[in-house]
């Protein structure tokens, strides 16, 4: 255990090393590191008093709050698992989470949906955020806790709705702190870093910066949800270094600060527009220089590759974090050659510990000793990685593996194509052959032969469609083509493993 370092350990160290530093700001709440450490001890003790043991789950149903960080740290102190769930889901979706996760304690903020769930709850101890949460915490005592191994899961984030329902990715302290360290490197975070948690904490994109800020002994500022004017006010008032902002959010903040009502110069962030750049301090770290690019998913702790580690590289996903290995693998576990498409697979310090209560899925995702992301990628000749698209289906034509996402990408690069989906149809000689279903742009024209020729200019010939069907619109399931509907309508079948 001498090598173990949990989130709780990091907090205990900061309580000693940074007695005067503000750890948390949330509305009128301001806590130094010793104050946060003390509250986390009380909360862990109180949760233990409610029956929370190692491996048990504690669910947060609410907007952003410093209570999320406190619950996560208290769970880490106990060896339990904290899950901040997406509050904006439907009653049916949240009911699934409750049934799936079987939390010992639920801390909730009232909404129509959570109030209904609370009224019908048959299990778990429900604690309302705010006064009830504070009373629970006040019941705790300043006890000592047994040391917890940093390989124990501390955080659960729902993600990856493979089978129509999401699964909870379990992240250990070791993985979360390794990932946080990779952000310290690529974002060049230093003590004094102040992060505004204005994105949702149930998403790894905000959580990963919250934890990196904790790790470097900085200040986490919480706000319930994104509000452009409030973001401006908080950046000014708390001298925020970074917030969770992208494209249109940056435009909204720029607009809210028209006339320079607030001083945003403490923000060290990405260049965006002339007006934005004049308000903030454009940051020179690899993360900000490269527009925060890369490839990631919850299961790898956040980012697997960083564009900031591959400036000028050919692949727009960049190069792997210093704490992971990446391989592009074929379905048989062998490595594909440079330039060939394979599944993005990974090993390393930032990886998750599997999904909660999904043994079969976990076995498949870790085949051959590599985490399989479910996404396709390619090594460019300079070693950088290009993300191709999700590996939803695979077509087997002769001995060749063909991934629909790759062919769809080629089709969509044709000027006449509005949208495209690719399926495999039974073929007497090749087992399957490639069929494209294409929606053309209004008033655009293209022939079957013309599209097939176009794909051949971009991809190896064996990947080209042998048939093209033209449709008005590609049916969708979420963001991806509805392949089952397409197979039914266009004769798909004979997929490997069927």
- Residue nearer to its own copies on the CB measure, 366 or 480: 366
What are the φ/ψ torsions at residue 355 (nearest 5 degrees)? Answer: -90, 145
| Cβ proximity to its own copies, 97 vs 175, nearer residue | 175
| Least distance to its own copies, CB of residue 192, Å | 9
Nearest CA to 85 out of 74, 119, 100 is that of: 100
Closest CA to 414 of 436, 392, 381: 436
**Alpha-carbon torsion angle 295, 392, 475, 456, nearest 10:** 80
Least Å from the CB of residue 125 to its own copies: 32
Half-sphere exposure of 98 (CA within 13 A, CB side): 25
Q: Which of 55, 383, 398, 493 binds its own copies (CB under 8 A)?
A: 383
Number of residues that bind its own copies (CB under 8 A): 56
CA dihedral 292, 294, 298, 301 (to 10 degrees): -80
List 319, 378, 391, 435, residue binding its own copies (CB under 8 A):
319
Task: Considering the complex, state which of residue 40 and residue 232 has its C-beta at the smaller distance from its own copies.
Answer: 40
Pick out residues in 135-164 that bind its own copies (CB under 8 A).
147, 151
Is 20 one of the binding residues for its own copies (CB under 8 A)? Answer: yes
Part of the chain binding its own copies (CB under 8 A), chosen from 1-9, 398-406, 463-471, 481-489: 1-9
- In the range 210-229, which residues lie near its own copies by CB under 8 A? 215-217
H helices of 85-168, in order, are 91-101, 112-120, 131-138
Q: How far is the CB of 430 from its own copies (least distance, A)?
A: 31
Site string for its own copies, 170-189 (x = CB under 8 A): ----xx-x---xx-xx--xx
Distances (CA, A) of 287 to 60, 85, 293, 316, 372: 30, 28, 7, 14, 25
User: Which residue lies nearer to its own copies by CB, 191 or 398?
Assistant: 191
Nearer to its own copies, 293 or 475 (CB): 293
Q: Kindly state whether residue 416 participates in binding its own copies, applying the rule CB under 8 A.
A: no
Q: Which of 13, 91, 230, 263 binds its own copies (CB under 8 A)?
A: 13
Question: Partners of 302 in the beta sheet?
Answer: 297
Q: For its own copies, which residue of 89, 111, 265, 366 counts as binding (CB under 8 A)?
A: 366
Residues 324-363 that bind its own copies (CB under 8 A): 324-327, 347-349, 351
- Cα dihedral sign, 61-131-8-80: negative
* Shortest distance (Å) from residue 66 CB to its own copies: 21
**58 or 345: whose CB is closer to its own copies?**
345
Q: Which of 130, 224, 293, 322 binds its own copies (CB under 8 A)?
A: 322
Residue 419 to residue 421: CA distance in whole angstroms:
7
Q: Are 206 and 185 in contact (CB under 8 A)?
A: no
Angle, nearest 10°, between helix axes 33-49 and 131-138? 80
Q: Return the number of the residue (105 or 211) whose C-beta is nearest its own copies.
A: 211
Decide whether 114 or 173 has the Cβ nearer to its own copies. 173
Choice between 365 and 435, CB closer to its own copies? 365
Residue whose structure tokens are 């993360």: 287
Rule CB under 8 A: say whether 265 interacts with its own copies. Answer: no
Applying CB under 8 A, among 247, 359, 381, 415 the residue interacting with its own copies is 381
Residue 310 binds to its own copies (criterion: CB under 8 A)? yes
Question: Which residue lies nearer to its own copies by CB, 62 or 302?
Answer: 302
Going 100 to 103 to 107 to 111, the CA torsion angle's sign is: positive
For the bound state, the minimum distance from the C-beta of residue 276 to its own copies, rounded and expressed in Å, comes to 24
User: What mask, x for binding its own copies by CB under 8 A, covers residues 68 to 87?
Assistant: --------------------
Return the closest-CA partner of residue 358 out of 497, 498, 161, 204.
161
Partnered with residue 376 across adjacent β-strands are 343, 389
- Considering the complex, what minimum distance in angstroms separates the CB of residue 6 from its own copies? 10
Name the one residue in this structure whose structure tokens are 């301001």.
30
Nearer to its own copies, 284 or 478 (CB): 284
CB 219 within 8 A of CB 195: yes
If residue 376 lies in a helix (H) or strand (E), which one and from where to where? strand 371-379
DSSP string across 317-353 = TBEE-TTEEEEEE-TTSPBPPTTSEEEEEEEETT---
Which residue, 212 or 434, is less far from its own copies as judged by CB?
212
How many angstroms separate the first and last alpha carbons of the chain?
Answer: 47
Residues at the interface with its own copies (CB under 8 A): 1-5, 9-10, 12-13, 16-20, 147, 151, 174-175, 177, 181-182, 184-185, 188-191, 215-217, 286, 309-311, 319-320, 322-327, 347-349, 351, 366, 369-371, 379, 381-385
């Amino acid at each position: 255990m001498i090598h173990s370092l949990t989130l709780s350990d990091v907090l205990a160290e900061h309580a000693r090393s940074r007695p005067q530093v503000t750890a948390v700001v949330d509305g009128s709440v301001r806590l130094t590191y010793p104050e946060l450490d003390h509250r986390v001890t009380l909360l862990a003790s109180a949760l233990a008093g409610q029956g929370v043991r190692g491996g048990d789950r504690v669910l947060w149903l609410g907007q952003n709050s410093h209570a999320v960080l406190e619950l996560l740290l208290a769970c880490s102190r106990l060896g339990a698992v904290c899950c901040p769930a997406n509050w904006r889901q439907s009653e049916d979706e949240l009911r699934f989470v409750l049934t799936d996760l079987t939390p010992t304690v639920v801390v909730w903020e009232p909404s129509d949906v959570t109030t209904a769930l609370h009224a019908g709850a048959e299990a778990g101890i429900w604690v309302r955020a705010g006064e009830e949460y504070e009373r629970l915490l006040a019941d705790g005592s300043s006890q000592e806790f047994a040391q917890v191994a940093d390989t124990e899961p501390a955080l659960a984030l729902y993600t990856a709705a493979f089978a129509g329902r999401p699964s909870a990715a379990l992240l250990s302290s070791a993985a979360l702190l390794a990932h946080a360290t990779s952000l310290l490197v690529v974002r060049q975070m230093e003590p004094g870093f102040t992060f505004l948690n204005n994105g949702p904490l149930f998403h790894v994109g905000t959580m990963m910066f919250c934890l990196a800020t904790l790790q470097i002994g900085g200040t986490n500022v919480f706000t319930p949800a994104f509000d452009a004017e409030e973001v401006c006010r908080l950046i000014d008032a708390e001298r925020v270094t970074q917030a969770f902002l992208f494209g249109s959010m940056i435009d909204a903040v720029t607009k809210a600060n028209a006339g320079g009502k607030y001083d945003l110069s403490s923000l060290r962030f990405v260049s965006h527009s002339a007006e934005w750049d004049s308000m903030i301090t454009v940051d020179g770290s690899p993360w900000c220089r490269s527009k925060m690019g890369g490839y990631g998913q919850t299961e790898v702790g956040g980012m697997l590759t960083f564009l900031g580690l591959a400036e000028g590289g050919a692949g727009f996903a960049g190069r792997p974090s210093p704490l992971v290995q990446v391989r592009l693998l074929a379905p048989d576990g062998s490595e594909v050659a440079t330039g060939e498409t394979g599944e993005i697979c990974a090993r390393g310090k930032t990886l998750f510990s599997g999904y909660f209560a999904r043994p079969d899925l976990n076995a498949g995702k870790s085949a051959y000793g590599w985490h399989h992301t479910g996404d396709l990628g390619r090594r460019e000749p300079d070693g950088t990685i290009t993300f191709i698209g999700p590996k939803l289906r695979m077509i087997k034509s002769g001995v060749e593996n063909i991934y629909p996402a790759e062919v769809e990408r080629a089709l969509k690069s044709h000027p006449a194509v509005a949208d495209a989906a690719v399926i495999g149809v039974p073929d007497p000689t090749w087992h399957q052959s490639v069929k494209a279903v294409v929606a053309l742009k209004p008033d655009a024209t293209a022939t079957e032969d013309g599209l097939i020729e176009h794909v051949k200019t971009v991809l190896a010939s064996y990947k080209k469609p042998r048939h093209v069907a033209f449709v008005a619109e590609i049916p969708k399931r979420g963001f991806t083509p509805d392949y089952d509907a397409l197979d039914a309508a266009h004769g798909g079948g004979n997929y490997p493993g069927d």
